[in-house]
Structure 1
Amino acid sequence: MTESKDISPKNPNLAPVETASIKAILKTNHSARLRTWLEICTGCGLCADACLFYLTNDKDPKMSPAYKARATLGEMIRKKGKFDRDFLVKAKEIAFGDCTLCRRCSMFCPFGIDIAAMIMVARTVLDSQGEIPQGLKDAKKNILATGNQMGMPDEEWLETCEWMADEYGEDVGGIECPADKPGVKYMYTVNPREPMFYPQDMGMMFQIFKVARESWTVPSKGWDDTNLAMFCGDKSISGLMVKPMYDQAVKLGVKYILTTECGHAYRSAAFEGPYYLDIPGGNPPVPVKHAVQLLWEYVVRDKRVLIDPEKRPSEGVTIQDPCNISRNGGLWVMMRELAHALCPDFRDPDPKEEYNHCCGGGGGYIPMGPEYKERRMTSGRLKAEQLKKTGAKTIIVACHNCFDQITDLNKKYELGLRIVSFKELIVESMIIPEEMRPAGGESSTRDIAEPEAKGDAK
């Protein structure tokens, strides 16, 4: 893959197609594996019945994953990179608008064809020609300007950390938020949506760290663990996202990089990042752990955080499997063991775990902007129907993009769900050690208003 060129100052529909760069990308990615996948697909249709877009669009054959791969990457290869801007515009609507890269289709392919990998190569070509949704363009500009997708200054990030430590220290005494503290166990990184729109998520995690008596810090640089450039297939900018995080973790000598409850952040930091930076062996320089793993250790394995059974939710609770945590991250068992510990009436959706349906907000869909919302709501109907069948009143969502998508689905399809993170359920029910309780008695339960989804703000 090659570095993308930002042609946003021009009108992309008038800009000439740079055939040479397209040929270079296709040559780099035109492996024997991709050729084999394109050639051996028999059109059996098993991938179609696994796709949320196919199932929610009257089973339109053009929504079949096999068709989408052939109509984008297949045509790019067949035409040897020689095509016009009109083709790129149509391919963009397929590669970005009709696929969330969830990889559910690959689980049902008898030949193990990875459609998402082929769509990602098509996205790389499109990105090189400026044919990506405006929301993703804006995110990449922010990354280049500030080092994070929301364009938040590092000073404001640290101020928000201090604010949340003070605010949530009212309920669990003695909370501090150390910045750039060397030699600790965890360097905690977040999705910038937290300091921008959901600062309570940070405050809740700070409380849990305190109760668990954890050794931790936040970095002043490399604190954004997300990677929206990854969804564009832009290796260059994707590398710019993970390098400061890796460098800071090495500099501070921490044992782990801890990512917040975000799906693609975990995938980027733990699995994809080393390849963006050509790190030998394909492993990050410091091991990466997802928040679900740590919370499972605290509550289930080590009992470092004790749960008051009387404060657990009494009504039915279900769960969302973020694609990059469950299907592509392998954490579905920990998620359920943690959910069972927190919820006496846990109700798994059907299908579940690695076979669960994508919510429709992944693959960059949420930040792609309002012009894609109607399609996002249509494809999300499958998830809405699945959740409604559980009869649950609360859903645990361990990913910000899923959180925003399910918030929108909750309103559109009148699901009546309370949407929470694992952190929130733990904070509501954990037992505060006596010495950490505020003066005057038992810790209060902080009222946390459900925020509005911010996916269409761009």
Structure 2
Amino acid sequence: MEKFERKPVTDIGIDETLNKVDESTIKKAIDWVLRKEASARLKTFVETCMRCGMCTTSCHHYLGHEGDPTYAPAAKVKQTIWDMLNKNGNVSKDDIKKYARIAFSECNLCRRCVQFCPFGIDIAYLIALVRRICCLIGAVPQYIQDQALSHMQTTNMLWFRQDEWLDTVQWLEDELRAEIKNARIPLGKKNAEILYLAHGLEAKYMTGLLTNMAKIMNVAKVDWTMPDTDGWDYTNKAFYAQDQETLQKVVRTHYEIAFKLNVKRIVMGECGHAYRTGIYEGTRLIGWKENPIPYLHGVEFFYELLKSGRIKIREKIKEPVTLQDPCNIIRYRGLGEKLRYIVNSLCENFIEMTPNDDHNYCCSAGGGMIDAGPPWKMARIEGGKVKAEQIRDTGAKIVIAPCHTCHKGIEDLNDYYKLGVHVKFLTDMIAEQMEIP
């Protein structure tokens, strides 16, 4: 394997933390995670890997860096988890800095490599353990730390106060009534069929997306409500840091609001990682065997509305369209077929990427890479080169990205690689193309 060589990057969340900790603290964190928190999967995966290299070309970072073997999935494990185990946890601060760089900026936890491993080794799980160790030490990119702290204090990602949330929703309801007479965005309504949770950005910077979801709800005559308290934001940026304590607190808050309002189901918008925390990571950490209330991604919800005829498409989009498959709802949940039903309902000229569905490449922004902030932007832009090539090869003018992270990540790739495409959410497309009585 070639030498690990990277351009220097300064991130105070990692660098300043490591200036303050000693190596005994580092060993304590490693021992705790690998001996107390890690499951039998760690031992099984480490002892099963044959170093066969079948996972190598599955990784967009490897392909985007001209086949540098240090970016291969197995190499990332060898340079992190295996290194800790070989050194019995006695690692240096420089080692932790290297581990953090690999775990937060060179692996999106997308699990594409799992599709190619003959033994099904989950490298995303192993890299998540590295992140967890870095979290306990405090060596996490500063931008991710800030968002996780906001979740801890306010249960949303942007330090948005409860009164600001209520004012925003009331303002959006007034705006919506200009188009749909007597439209409502109900808050704190008991016994509704659906509790809808929003993305943090939709309350502050992307309010049009929340308005369009409310428009869909009103046209489809859905019996719905939103929280009138803290806990309305479905994002869970603590997942990126592997801050498991905050992660489960946020998920528990969502379910407790659903219990209090006695709703039948929880529906969230277009986000991959939050869906994963809501139905897998958070409930597992809380200790629940199953989700106490059905928890639906926007793709599942839109599929239901279109399939049942509650939403009717007025006119299909004629421009050539392609589709990004978000890792956390496709490889983790298998929603590819439902997603394609929606796209074909909306579009006349749908062109698949190659490869696609559960073998599609990650957007290179997921797993917290875009949330790591400006210091790490070029790491995801370079890793996203193969995604940019995929999009260009389709000749499409519109890229549908049913995930906030994919959406922003592909927008950045579009700007950098001059793809000349428009990136859209399903929510906006449905609101624009549906019949409004």
- What is the TM-score with the length of structure 2 in the denominator? 0.94
C-alpha deviation, 1:8, in angstroms: 8.5
SS in 2 for 1:333: helix
Q: Which residue does the alignment assign to 2:282?
A: 273
C-alpha deviation, 1:43, in angstroms: 1.7
> Within 5 A, what are the aligned runs for 1:393-432?
393-432=397-436
Q: Which residue does the alignment assign to 1:34?
A: 42
Q: Which residue does the alignment assign to 2:262?
A: 253
Contact 2:155 2:231 (8 Å CA) reproduced: yes
Contact 1:169 1:207 (8 Å CA) reproduced: no
Q: Which residue does the alignment assign to 1:288?
A: 295
Query: Structure 2 residue aligned with 1:302, among 303, 308, 316?
Result: 308
1:184 is aligned to 2:188: no
Q: Which residue does the alignment assign to 1:195?
A: 203
Identity %: 37
Query: Structure 1 residue aligned with 2:376, among 365, 372, 376?
Result: 372
Contact 1:349 1:386 (8 Å CA) reproduced: yes
Aligned partners of 1:366 and 1:154: how far apart in 2? 26
Residues paired across the two proteins, number:
423
Q: Which residue does the alignment assign to 2:241?
A: 232
Q: Which residue does the alignment assign to 1:78?
A: 86
Contact 1:208 1:427 (8 Å CA) reproduced: yes
Gap change, CA 1:31 and 1:291, over 3 Å in 2? closer
Gap change, CA 1:11 and 1:49, over 3 Å in 2? closer
Aligned partners of 2:40 and 2:184: how far apart in 1? 53
Aligned partners of 2:361 and 2:15: how far apart in 1? 38
Contact 1:306 1:430 (8 Å CA) reproduced: yes
Cα displacement string for residues 28-72 of structure 1 (whole angstroms, at most 9, x for unaligned residues): 244432122112212222111100000110111100100101211
Paired AA for residue 91 in structure 2: F
**CA RMSD of the aligned region, Å?**
1.6
> Within 5 A, what are the aligned runs for 1:57-456?
57-219=65-227, 220-279=229-288, 281=289, 283-299=290-306, 301-309=307-315, 312-433=316-437
SS in 2 for 1:350: coil
C-alpha deviation, 1:22, in angstroms: 2.5
Any gaps of 5 or more consecutive residues in structure 2?
A: 1-12
Gap change, CA 1:266 and 1:31, over 3 Å in 2? closer
Paired AA for residue 73 in structure 2: P
SS in 1 for 2:109: coil
Query: Structure 2 residue aligned with 1:12, among 11, 18, 22?
Result: 18
Paired AA for residue 107 in structure 1: Q
Aligned partners of 1:230 and 1:159: how far apart in 2? 29
Cα displacement string for residues 187-211 of structure 1 (whole angstroms, at most 9, x for unaligned residues): 1112201112111010000000011
Aligned partners of 1:43 and 1:8: how far apart in 2? 30
Contact 2:145 2:241 (8 Å CA) reproduced: no
Q: Which residue does the alignment assign to 1:448?
A: none
Query: Structure 2 residue aligned with 1:55, among 59, 63, 69?
Result: 63
Q: Which residue does the alignment assign to 2:7?
A: none
- What is the TM-score with the length of structure 1 in the denominator? 0.90
C-alpha deviation, 1:13, in angstroms: 2.2
Contact 2:60 2:383 (8 Å CA) reproduced: yes
Gap change, CA 1:308 and 1:227, over 3 Å in 2? same
Aligned partners of 2:293 and 2:80: how far apart in 1? 37
SS in 1 for 2:353: coil
Aligned partners of 1:221 and 1:30: how far apart in 2? 32
Aligned partners of 2:231 and 2:272: how far apart in 1? 18
Aligned partners of 1:414 and 1:356: how far apart in 2? 21
Gap change, CA 1:304 and 1:9, over 3 Å in 2? same
Aligned partners of 1:156 and 1:267: how far apart in 2? 27
Any gaps of 5 or more consecutive residues in structure 1?
A: 1-6, 434-458
